[in-house]
Amino acid sequence: MTYGVHTSDIENLINRLFSSIILEQRKYNSIKPADSNRRQIQNDILDIFKKNRGIGLYYDYISTGRGHGPFTELVDGSVKYDLIGSMGINILGHSHPLVIRSHLETATCDTTISGNLLPHSNQAVLTKRLLETVTKSRLKHFWFAGSGSFANDLALKLLWQKSAPRRRIIAFEKAFAGRSIASQNITWNTSYREDMPSLIDVDFIPHFDQSNPDKAVSKTLRALDKLYKQHSDEYCALIIELVQGEAGFVFGTKEYYRKIFEWARQRNIFIWIDEIQTVTRTHELFAFQMFELDDYVDVVTIGKTLQCCGVFYTSELNPKPGLIGGTFAAPIVSLNLAHKMLEYFQKGNFHGPEGRVVELEKIFLKKIEHLSGGTCSGKISYFGGIGTMISFEIGDSSEKTTWKFLSQLFNNGIIAFSAGKNPTRVRFLLPLSLTKTHIDEIFTIIEKTINQVI
Ligand SMILES: Cc1ncc(COP(=O)(O)O)c(C=O)c1O
């Protein structure tokens, strides 16, 4: 089946454009300081943008749309390592051939966005392809949503409808589920929902205690039992991030998750996994697959790296007509790219014990360990993470010190982000396009920055 318009002329032009674009983008292949004459242009854009938005930005960053692999160019002419990928979206890195190809192919079709009323064929094709990635589970359906937060809202509606009149949700301390009117209630950090009415009854329990792993299961189960005594017939679902992003990549063990999920299942509480940040980033395509929890999942929400957001759910949770809908499913270029990415991940050596994701994790953790035992001794208070999600703590692990480090790191050519409060961690959401040369340079910069700041 072809999609969009195709003639040999169009194919030739696409191929020529593809090569020309990639050759131009590949020029952005090393870090570079700002140009003095372009700095003012960026400052002017930022001043107006900040005024128009009303709220500032974490970094003085405006992209030119140019960059290659881990490199991104700013309007001020500087080129930096992007180790956060716009909060985790760009796992392939910048101007990846699949990204360019998806754009060019999509330019041959007639609209920009596939809608739920009159879907494009690639919406149907991607839905099928996504479901093929979860065949070991009971997940049988997938529905697109406009953002990760809206995917969680959609999940909540399915769960509520099936469980009515049970409404109560169990979530985890330090969770992040988004900022929509519903999902903000599940997000642990109350400063993100200041003055908002509390619209959903959500009870928080401790996640895996990294400082006391032997007691982690009993601690969580005790909290669950205590809640259940108070609200036994009110709970409909338990939502969990198997690797908690905002907490700085806190995760448990297969046994830990199994015990909690058994507890929930025995009480007819649905199990809802938020994989919005984790999908594609752990040792398997999904974190629930890495922890071998396929049997347990009732709902899985995804977003970020897959370029579109949405919800997988079991047949049992298929809603009544009219409950879910919405004009947009996803931009056509995102549908096209997501499909190509799934094929790329399946055919390439990315997931599994010998895959690139595991390899990157090992390299990063080893290098941080080396710094913390050597030239940065006493200055790195923690390091950890899993897959392409790596974190560490600097000095006293306070928000202030962490942001002092992150700002200096930015000036020195690397963009990263923070995670959590008390402690606050430095967070990397790594692209897969990093080479050994890049990683060596990144660690030279990290070492220099730690010693500048602490
Ligand atoms: C685990 C998790 N859930 C939900 C969301 C919300 O996704 P979005 O920002 O696309 O609404 C995020 C975003 O960071 C997330 O990390």
- CA-nearest residue for atom 8, ligand 1, is 148
Q: Which residues of 41-66 are buried (b: 16+ CB within 10 A; e: fewer)?
A: ebeeebeeeeeeeeeeeeebbeeeeb
- Supply the pLDDT for residue 2: 77
pLDDT digit string (tens) for the chain, length 454 residues: 678 999 999 999 999 999 999 999 999 999 999 999 999 999 999 999 999 999 999 999 999 999 999 999 999 999 999 999 999 999 999 999 999 999 999 999 999 999 999 999 999 999 999 999 999 999 999 999 999 999 999 999 999 999 999 999 999 999 999 999 999 999 999 999 999 999 999 999 999 999 999 999 999 999 999 999 999 899 999 999 999 999 999 999 999 999 999 999 999 999 999 999 999 999 999 999 999 999 999 999 999 999 999 999 999 999 999 999 999 999 999 999 999 999 999 999 999 999 999 999 999 999 999 999 999 999 999 999 999 999 999 999 999 999 999 999 999 999 999 999 889 999 999 999 999 999 999 999 999 999 999 9
Identify the pLDDT of residue 1: 64
CA of 436 to the centre of ligand 1 (A): 30
Q: Are 188 and 171 in contact (CB under 8 A)?
A: yes
Q: Which helix (H) or strand (E) holds 73?
A: strand 71-73
Please give the distance, rounded to the nearest whole angstrom, from the Cα atom of residue 440 to the centre of ligand 1: 31
Take atom 13 of ligand 1 and give the residue whose Cα is closest.
178
- Determine which residue's CA is closest to atom 9 belonging to ligand 1: 148
Q: What is the pLDDT of residue 295?
A: 98
Q: Could you tell me which residues are beta bridge partners of residue 418?
A: 426
What 3-state class would DSSP assign to 326? coil
**CATH 3.40.640.10 is the classification of domain 106-347:** yes
Ligand 1 centroid, distance to 222 Cα (angstroms): 28
Report how far Cα 443 is from the mean position of its chain's Cα atoms. Answer: 23
> What's the CA-to-centroid distance between 178 and ligand 1, angstroms?
5
For ligand 1, residues with CB inside 6 Å are 87, 147-149, 152, 176-178, 241, 245, 274, 276-277, 303, 309
Residue whose CB lies within 8 A of the most ligand 1 atoms, among 58, 156, 176, 188, for a mutation test: 176
Burial class (CB in 10 A: 0-12, 13-18, 19+), 394: buried
> What distance in Å separates the CA atoms of residue 120 and residue 252, rounded to the nearest whole number?
40
- Per the CB < 8 A criterion, the answer to whether 431 and 85 are in contact is yes
* Best residue for ligand 1 mutational test, from 276, 299, 308 (most atoms within 8 Å of Cβ): 276
Nearest to 418 by CA among 434, 440, 401, 431: 401
pLDDT number for residue 3: 86
Pocket test for ligand 1, best of 241, 304, 389 (most atoms within 8 A of CB): 304
Q: What is the pTM of this model?
A: 0.97
Nearest CA residue ID for atom 4, ligand 1 = 177
Measure 302 CA to ligand 1 centroid, in angstroms.
Answer: 9
Measured distance between the N- and C-terminal CA atoms of the chain, rounded to whole angstroms? 59
